[in-house]
Chains A and B, each alone.
Chain A
C-alpha cells in the first residue's frame, strides 16, 4: 500500500500515484502551506521538503515521493509555536500578501539545514527561483539571516 509520509504522519494515497503532490497535499490532506502559483515549476510557491530537499510539489507526482519524508510549512512550527525561521519572518514583518512566503521559507529552511550561516549573497542566490510580486524580498532575506544568527 503506497503511503505518503507528511509531517510525521502517514496517509494512504492509493490510486493517487499520478496526481500532482500539491493537489493531494492541499485538497486531500487539507494542508494550507504549499500554494498553487504556476503549476510549471517556475515560481516556487508550492515548495515542500522531501527528505530535506526543496521540491516543487506542483510538478511532482505522488508516486515519485511515496515513503519519503515530506515536510510542509505546517511541519516546521505552529501558530502557537512557530519555529525560528517562521519567528524571524514575523519579527522582520517579512511580507506583504504572504502568498509566496511558503516557498521562500521552505527553500530557506533547506538552505539553513545545509549551510547554517549563509552570506546575504548565498541567501539571495538560493531564493532566486522563488518569485515575490509584492517586493518583500529584502525583508525576507533579512529574516533568513536573522534566523541564522539566532539559531
Chain B
C-alpha cells in the first residue's frame, strides 16, 4: 500500500503507523459531559468502504496525516496533514 504524504510523496505503508479514525482529532472540551468523552474515546465507525484514518509518518518526516482510504479495496484516495485538517476546522 502506498500513502501519498504531502511532504514526502507516495511512500510505502511500512513507513507509517495507523492510529484509527480521524475523529480522534475532535477532542471534546475538558468539561464536556461524560457521554461525549465516552464517544470520543471508545466509539468508532467501522465502515466497509471509504473512511478517514490517522497515519503517522514515523519512518519519514514525522507528520501525522489524515488518509482517505477504502477499507474494502484498500485504495488510498488522498492524504492531508493533520495540522491543516485541524486548522481548517
> Does B associate with A?
no
